[in-house]
Structures are given as C-alpha cells and as structure tokens.
Amino acid sequence: MEPIYIAALISFIVGLFGYIIIRFWILPIGRYLKIKGLLLSDMRALPDMLRAEQPQNNEAAKIQSRRVSVRRHCSDLVSIYQNDLPYWYRLHLESKKEQPLEAAKLSMRLANTRKQEHALRQANEIKRLLRIKRSGFQ
C-alpha cells in the first residue's frame, strides 16, 4: 500500500472520530451548560421582580414572560439531560451531586410562585441542586 493511501485512511479515521466526539459529546454538553446559564439568569431576575408588592401593568407582563422563560429553559434542560448528554457526562454530574431533574421540578414550581420569600427559598434550593457556587439570590 502506498503512503498516500495510508495517510488518507488515517486522516479519514481521525476525521470520523473527531466528528463523533464533537457531534455527540461536545455540542450536547455545550448546549446543556448554555441552557443552565440561561435558566440561572432567569431565576436571578424573577425574585427581584417579585419584590414589588403591587407590580405595574408592564411589570406584570415582564414577570409573566420571565416565568414562561423559566419553564421553557427548564424543559429544555431536562430534554437535553435525558436525550442528548452522553452517559459518562451524566455519571460525572451525579458524582458532583448535581441533580438537574430535581432542580427542573423546583424551577417549574418557582415559575408559579407568587410570594417573594417562597421564590427565594426555591431559587436557593435550585442553586444547591445545580451546584451553582455564585451568589445572587440573597
């Protein structure tokens, strides 16, 4: 076999493995982390919006859209976790004691919470379940 054919075969195999790793490992993990960040930013804004006792008309619309956004990001997070993430990464999350399915249940409840103290408590619990070290819910 000529060296050019060996080089072509090796480059094809390396390209194939690279595609598999990027398509089935790197992209799903990146989507998971991106959705987790979006969920975090929505959860940070929602308790601040709930602090007002009597929200204005436009403020009530913003609160409702933020709640819808929390629910959407939550369902996206669960979908990616259950369908797209590689098994070894789910095991890694379990070893870090990160529980996105339980956090998703709580974030659904957070989306329907009207009282600020309950929302803060649920947001802190979600922060604990997702192993988020940054503060911002106090």
pLDDT of residue 33: 94
- Evaluate whether residue 120 is within a structural domain: yes
The number of domains in the chain is 1
What confidence tens digit (pLDDT) does each residue in 32-76 have?
999 999 988 887 777 777 666 556 667 777 877 888 888 899 889
- Evaluate whether residue 138 is within a structural domain: no
Find out whether 39 and 74 touch, Cβ atoms under 8 Å. Answer: yes
Nearest to 114 by CA among 68, 49, 40, 62: 49
**11: containing domain:** 3-129
- Evaluate whether residue 96 is within a structural domain: yes
pLDDT of residue 96: 94
pLDDT at 130 over 50: yes
